[in-house]
Structure 1
Amino acid sequence: MQNSRTAHERIFVALDTLDFGRAEELARALGDSVGGVKLGKEFFTAHGPEGVRGVAGGKPLFLDLKFHDIPNTVAGAVRAAMHMRPVMLNVHASGGRAMMEAAALAAREGAEDAGIERPWLLAVTVLTSLDDADLESVGQRTPASDQVRRLAALTADSGLDGVVCSPREIAALRRDLGPDFKLVVPGIRPAWAAGGDQKRAATPRDALEAGADVLVIGRPITAADDPAAAARRIAHEMSAAA
């Protein structure tokens, strides 16, 4: 996937639903007002690869399945995912170096076997629904920002393209890992949209100015009366930041 894109091409809309008809309707309504669609565990579990291909159609696909298992299992899953033709695919950085290295190799080999361009392979660092108190409750006694930086550095060392991170860590990761490391950022909320369950959110303009490559946006677009108009409004705000 190329990294020089217009504002609307940098928006991937999160179709976080298990309703095939609703996802298909949204994808069709959005047309070319966004750069692609994100389909995740809810939808994949309900409809499988055929459902993913049916909704994505010819649109760029971020396959958000967050693989996390032993290296051989994750490698196999990554290879299998290539038949859905994703442009982005992710694993959990907390799976460790060996798992991520196996996933990176599988992405290269699997893309070649499937006859597609190798997707960006990303690692999830700390979920945007978690804050410092949540991390401490599971035994990680460190600020979320430190944990993200630690896992992102491991991701880069393991040969992956970038990470999925919260808006609050964009600037630090850009400083740490340079301009070519990909930063794909959920937790995006325009000033006019409700905050929802994202505890570490930012506006599209702020995220772009901090150095994000791709913004993943869900409910501010999908819950709007006119999703395409909402996407265009966000892209306009992003263009003003460029």
Structure 2
Amino acid sequence: MRHAAVNQPVIVALDFPNRQDTKAFLSEFKTPLFVKVGMELFYREGPAFIHELKEDGHQVFLDLKLHDIPATVERAMRNLASLNVDLVNVHAQGGTEMMKAALRGLNEGTEKGRERPLCIAVTQLTSTNGEMVKRELGISEPLEDNVLRLAGSAREAGLDGIVCSAWESRAVAERFGDDFLTVTPGIRRLEDSHSDQKRVVTPAQAKKNRAGAIVVGRGITRTEHPAVAYEQYETEWRNS
């Protein structure tokens, strides 16, 4: 595991259906962003669009949440490493051996002379809550304890950090240190709608809770002036 600092702590989720809509959004900005490309956009536009984003100077978090047998994840990560993205992820519930295999694939697939992408593990999604985890997933331990246990597995596997709610990021930082990256979705300014997110915090709260980076979608992408909204999120984070 290497030091997992993120130099642009506001990651913008490109939750658009296609390249055309994404490019129209990005044209609102004068400088490159740190962007998150999820399944919807990647499955539509494919690797060529990732290369295009990188050529335009953007940092890319490729958010595919791999979760399969170790051999399959290793081969998939070998392919993803060739895209020269900055950050990828797996599901922590795939287990320690799967996460170790993900790192092997990334190291094998990264071009000589380049640093491999940071690799983090999804613990529990911000659309879940303690009741749902207990009732539907059969997990009896408190949600924060479950996140910490999964974070420990990711740390043991050598991953660079995790995805978690900012409600848990302080506990993760206290146990594993700030070099263990916590990427926290479910971020909304007080003026924004919470939509389908349940465990939501503001940028200032996330910073106070020692989150390493925040992921923002609708609060920026669904506004009339995205560049202004981005600046508001970044300023609230920076001044906290």
Fold equivalence (TM over 0.5): yes
1:23 has 2:25 as partner: no
Whether contact under 8 Å (2:5, 2:179) holds in the other structure is: no
Aligned length: 236
Please give the secondary structure, in 2, of the residue aligned with 1:30: coil
Please give the secondary structure, in 1, of the residue aligned with 2:239: helix
Moved more, 41-50 or 87-96: 41-50
Mind listing any 5+ residue stretches in structure 1 that lack a counterpart? none
Rounded Cα–Cα distance in structure 1 between residues aligned with 2:68 and 2:162: 18
1:3 has 2:5 as partner: yes
CA distance 1:31–1:53, change in 2 (3 Å)? farther
Kindly provide the amino acid, as one letter, of the partner of residue 26 in structure 1: F
Kindly provide the amino acid, as one letter, of the partner of residue 3 in structure 1: A
Whether contact under 8 Å (2:4, 2:180) holds in the other structure is: no
Rounded Cα–Cα distance in structure 2 between residues aligned with 1:27 and 1:117: 26
The equivalences for 1:1-242 within 5 A come to 3=5, 5=7, 9-32=8-31, 35-56=33-54, 57-113=56-112, 115-136=113-134, 137-241=136-240
Identity %: 38
Give the superposition deviation at 1:4.
Answer: 6.5
Whether contact under 8 Å (1:27, 1:55) holds in the other structure is: no
**CA RMSD across the alignment:** 1.6
Whether contact under 8 Å (2:165, 2:184) holds in the other structure is: yes
Kindly provide the amino acid, as one letter, of the partner of residue 178 in structure 1: G
Moved more, 65-74 or 206-215: 206-215
Q: Deviations over 1:145-203 (max 9, x none)?
A: 11111100000001000001101001100011012101111111111111111111100
Kindly provide the amino acid, as one letter, of the partner of residue 234 in structure 1: Y
Please give the secondary structure, in 1, of the residue aligned with 2:196: coil
Whether contact under 8 Å (1:10, 1:35) holds in the other structure is: no
Rounded Cα–Cα distance in structure 2 between residues aligned with 1:3 and 1:158: 19
Whether contact under 8 Å (2:178, 2:212) holds in the other structure is: no
Kindly provide the amino acid, as one letter, of the partner of residue 97 in structure 1: T
TM-score (norm 1): 0.92
Greater share of helix = 1
Rounded Cα–Cα distance in structure 1 between residues aligned with 2:131 and 2:231: 36
Please give the secondary structure, in 2, of the residue aligned with 1:112: coil
CA distance 1:4–1:194, change in 2 (3 Å)? closer
CA distance 1:105–1:199, change in 2 (3 Å)? same
Give the superposition deviation at 1:99.
Answer: 0.3
Give the superposition deviation at 1:30.
Answer: 2.9
Give the superposition deviation at 1:80.
Answer: 0.5
CA distance 1:30–1:143, change in 2 (3 Å)? farther
Whether contact under 8 Å (1:36, 1:61) holds in the other structure is: yes
Whether contact under 8 Å (2:4, 2:181) holds in the other structure is: no
Rounded Cα–Cα distance in structure 1 between residues aligned with 2:131 and 2:30: 40
Whether contact under 8 Å (2:4, 2:160) holds in the other structure is: no
